[in-house]
Structure 1
Amino acid sequence: MARGRRQNRHMKKLFILRGLPGVGKTEKAKKLWDEYARLGLKGDIFSADRYHERTNYTKGNFQLNHQQNREDVFKAMNRGVDPIIVDNTNISLWEMWPYIHMGIGQKNYYIIMVELPKGYPQNNISINKLYRRCRGNIPKRKFRSFEARWKKADSIWHVLNDGYSKKRWKRSKEEWNVQ
Structure 2
Amino acid sequence: MARGRRQNRYMKKLFILRGLPGVGKTEKANELWDKYARLGLKGEIFSTDRYHERSNYIKENFHRNHQQNREDVFKAMNRGVDPIIVDNTNISLWEMWPYIHMGIAQKNYDIRMVELPEGYPQKKISINKLYRRCHGNIPKRKFRSFEVRWEKADSIWHVLNDDYSKKRWKRSKEEWNVQ
Q: What's the TM-score once normalised by structure 2's chain length? A: 0.95
Q: Which residues of 2 match residues 69-108 of structure 1 at below 5 A?
A: 69-108=69-108
Determine the structure 1 residue equivalent to 2:123. Answer: 123
The one-letter code matched in structure 2 to 1:14 is L
1:54 maps to 2:62: no
Q: Give per-residue Cα distances to partners, 1:102-153, cap 9 Å, x unaligned.
A: 0000000000000000111110000000000000000000000000000000
Q: What's the TM-score once normalised by structure 1's chain length? A: 0.95
Distance, in Å, in 1 between the alignment partners of 2:122 and 2:59 is: 30
RMSD: 0.6
Q: Give per-residue Cα distances to partners, 1:10-58, cap 9 Å, x unaligned.
A: 0100000000000000000000000000000000000000100000100
Distance, in Å, in 1 between the alignment partners of 2:121 and 2:60 is: 29
Distance, in Å, in 2 between the alignment partners of 1:133 and 1:99 is: 27
Q: Give the length in aligned residue pairs.
A: 172
Determine the structure 1 residue equivalent to 2:164. Answer: 164
Gaps of 5+ in 2: 1-7
Structure number with larger C-alpha Rg: 2
Q: Give per-residue Cα distances to partners, 1:31-86, cap 9 Å, x unaligned.
A: 00000000000000000001000001000000000000000000000000000000
Distance, in Å, in 2 between the alignment partners of 1:18 and 1:61 is: 21
Kindly indicate whether structure 1 or structure 2 has the higher relative contact order, using CA contacts under 8 Å at least 6 residues apart: 1
Determine the structure 2 residue equivalent to 1:4. Answer: none
Determine the structure 1 residue equivalent to 2:14. Answer: 14
| Structure 2 counterpart SS, 1:22 | coil
Distance, in Å, in 2 between the alignment partners of 1:9 and 1:67 is: 31
1:9 offset after TM fit, Å?
Answer: 5.7
Distance, in Å, in 2 between the alignment partners of 1:119 and 1:93 is: 17
* Identical counterparts, % of pairs: 88
| Structure 2 counterpart SS, 1:90 | coil
Determine the structure 2 residue equivalent to 1:66. Answer: 66
